[in-house]
Structure 1
């Protein structure tokens, strides 16, 4: 059976997250795309080999040849069109960040429950084998009692009013686009929800160009996250420290383009394997497994609501304009 995917949004991320990994499979086909402007959708469909262009988002959701809807819009459009797709009887893979805030995330998850449809958040890094190995190490107790953690994701993003990440009305900002990852990996590896102790942001016309926050996890684990669209250089690192050892993952976001994961236990350092398919291939594998009943989903649901709640709390602590 072939999974037929419809794209809401003629986005750059859809090319990487859906079109590229689907191209190498016989059990997945991207059948249609819709954009705010049908002409833009047609210009997008042709070079990417998408056979059909829908007149608008609602028309795409209603198509009989769409089995799964991928929502690749700016965050401001996630809730409305995710809920519309779910209510039309279509499962959804929704890009991160899940929503504009926890209230929208709650409404989306409730819609999935009400309709009985699958709703997965596209935190692509989470599906890679690197995360499986990191979780197995932490859960084994090899690090001892967790004490400290920090994670960072920073990417220079030129300021452009047409770039959704620099637009407050589209729920852009460093924390939404980048910081959601450090927050998510610490929540996932520690396996608990944080209290936000403090946060500091660099704001530009209502958009956070950079953000940092101090967190406290249950059990006395102190943690920090940071993100920036205006750094001197890119970087993505996550570190957990316990009473017996330390885990460090350099480039946890996209291990397929270079990653180093080391565990230092009682003074001895071991380099852990980072091989595996791309994060986007692993994500598509997971979607297929969930839809076929072969696996339980690991993003979305309560996890997505909790990540947005923590983002809300960081913005409050930073006094976002």
Structure 2
């Protein structure tokens, strides 16, 4: 079994989780890390036993034998850092949201396709065993035809105007940080909506604190989605079908199982594997794609990501949120 050499570009909190998750894959190795702070890179490398640590993102391109780069920088940096790696011929797994807007996403996609290099959004939710199982049950008609999907994601974030979550210069707000999860899960199960309506409340910096979205689909289904930085929500997703309900158990974006509620039956709990944080599932999928010579994921193609970015743009237009770099 071939071992794949990973690099991480950007060493914030999520990079630590990815590094820990990568250690769960027997055929993956963290080969290089890059930060704008050389000391931070060296400390990260020492903690995880990484042979190469560099103090600039450009320098990462000089490290030999990199098979894939995981980009873990803030939202506003994804576009530039993805292009940096793609132009150097390096396959990329880019953290979500994929970009600030659909225009950036389109350019990232065009470069990857023109150069024939693998690119995928790091939407880890898609690769959890519970999600695979839920899609299988829905496809089998277990809950009948989906009529409505409800999903929420919220936590209490201290109001720090210059911080990542509330700073418009860093593409802050609940929508791009966590509202993207309910949008993603609705798209995964219901496809492209015919209509999107959204309302939001703002922080003092102008970004959204609460964002509520209502979606309607051609087949007659609807979705109600919510994200907030002001309250702890249940972080749940429920699919209401014509013959029953399907609940993703645990936090839906990192689900640990499924609960089926069918008429005249006791609820049926189906546990699903969830090891550690769960980032290894997406990393494993990237490795499988690379082994097959693929330049896109069949489970999370760039068209899906592009359409999701268009949905985010549509919501922001409705709530009147435009970032200064746009």
Shared fold (TM-score, shorter chain, > 0.5): yes
The structural deviation recorded for 1:165 is 2.0
Deviates more, 1:293-302 or 1:118-127: 293-302
**Residue 52 of structure 2 contacts residue 63 of structure 2 at CA under 8 Å; is this kept in 1?**
no
Question: Cα distance, 1:197 vs. partner?
Answer: 2.3
Q: How many residues align?
A: 316
The corresponding residue for 1:237 is 236
Number of the residue aligned with 2:270: 272
- Contact 1:134–1:189, Cα closer than 8 Å, also in 2: no
Aligned to 2:222: 222
CA contact (8 A) 2:42 2:54 kept: no
1:79-128: per-residue Cα shift (whole Å, max 9, x none)?
A: 11101211111100100111001111111111110111111111112101
Residue 284 (str. 1) matches residue 283 (str. 2): yes
| Aligned mates of 2:89, 2:320 — CA distance in 1 | 40
Compute the displacement of 1:301 (Å).
Answer: 0.3
Q: Aligned-pair distance for 1:129?
A: 0.8
Q: Does 1:305 align with 2:306?
A: yes
Aligned-pair distance for 1:276?
Answer: 4.1
Match of 1:203 in 2: 203
**What secondary structure is seen at the aligned counterpart in 2 of 1:62?**
coil
Aligned residues of 2:22 and 2:279 also touching (Cα < 8 A): no
Change (3 A) 1:162 1:70: farther
3-state SS in 1 of match to 2:78:
helix
Task: Determine the structure 1 residue equivalent to 2:259.
Answer: 262
Instruction: After TM superposition, list the pairs within 5 Å mapping 1:66-215 onto structure 2.
Output: 66-161=66-161, 163-215=163-215
TM-score under structure 1 normalisation?
Answer: 0.92
How far is 1:317 from its partner?
1.1
Give TM-score scaled by structure 2 length.
0.90
Contact residue 199 and residue 315 of structure 1 kept, 8 A? no
Does the aligned pair in 1 maintain the 2:239–2:245 contact within 8 Å? Answer: yes
Cα deviations across residues 206-240 of structure 1 (Å, max 9, x unaligned)?
22122111111221111111011110x24311111
> Could you tell me how far 1:132 is from its partner in structure 2?
0.7
SS at match of 1:253: helix
- Seen in structure 2, the aligned counterparts of structure 1 residues 291 and 124 have a Cα distance that, compared at 3 Å, is same
Structure 2: gaps (5+ residues): none
Q: Give yes or no for contact 1:13–1:72 (8 Å, CA) kept in 2.
A: yes
State the secondary structure of the residue aligned to 1:247: strand
2 CA distance for matches of 1:35 and 1:265?
Answer: 50
Q: Tell me how far 1:26 sits from its aligned partner.
A: 4.0
Cα 1:138–1:8, aligned 2, differ >3 Å: closer, same or farther? same
Change (3 A) 1:130 1:24: closer
- How much has 1:68 moved relative to structure 2? 1.0
- My pick for the range that moved more, 115-124 or 23-32, is 23-32
**5+ long unaligned stretches in structure 1:** none
Cα deviation, 1:259-283, whole Å, max 9, x if unaligned, reads: 4521223342322222344421211
Local SS of the residue matching 1:151: strand
* Separation of aligned partners in 2, 1:298 and 1:204: 39
